[in-house]
Amino acid sequence: MRYKRTIYFGLTSILCMFLIVGCGSLSDKNQSSYQLKSKQITKKPGARDSVVNELYQQHQEWQGVRYHLGGMNKSGIDCSAFVQLTYKSRLGIHLPRTARQQSRLGTTIRKHQLEPGDLVFFRTGPTSKHVGIYLEKNKFLHASQRKGVTISRLDNVYWQSKYWKSVRP
The CATH number that applies at residue 140 is: 3.90.1720.10
Catalytic residue, chosen from 23, 94, 112, 130, is: 130
Give the residues of the chain that fall short of pLDDT 50.
2-21, 25-40, 42
pLDDT digits (tens, 9 = 90+) for 44-90: 556 788 999 999 999 999 999 999 999 999 999 999 999 999 999 99
In-domain check, residue 15: yes
Please tell me the predicted confidence (pLDDT) of residue 23.
59
| Catalytic site residue from 16, 68, 94, 142 | 142
Among candidate residues 16, 59, 68, 79, the one labeled active-site is: 79
Q: Is 163 helix (H, G, I), strand (E, B) or coil?
A: strand
* Closest to 124 measured CA to CA, from 100, 95, 149: 100
Element (H, E) at 123: strand 119-123
20 part of a folded domain: yes
pLDDT in the model for residue 169: 93
State the Cα–Cα distance between residues 12 and 6, nearest whole angstrom: 10
Within a domain: 32: no
Q: Is 79 a catalytic residue?
A: yes
The answer to whether position 33 is within a domain reads: no
The domain tally of the chain equals 1
Q: Look at residue 31 and tell me if it is in a domain.
A: no
Asked whether residue 123 is assigned to any structural domain, the reply reads yes
Active site residue 94: no
* pTM recorded for the entire structure: 0.78
For residue 30, is it within any domain? no
Three-class secondary structure assignment of 78-114: CHHHHHHHHHHHHHCCCCCCCHHHHHCCCEEECHHHC
Question: Does the residue 148 lie in any domain?
Answer: yes
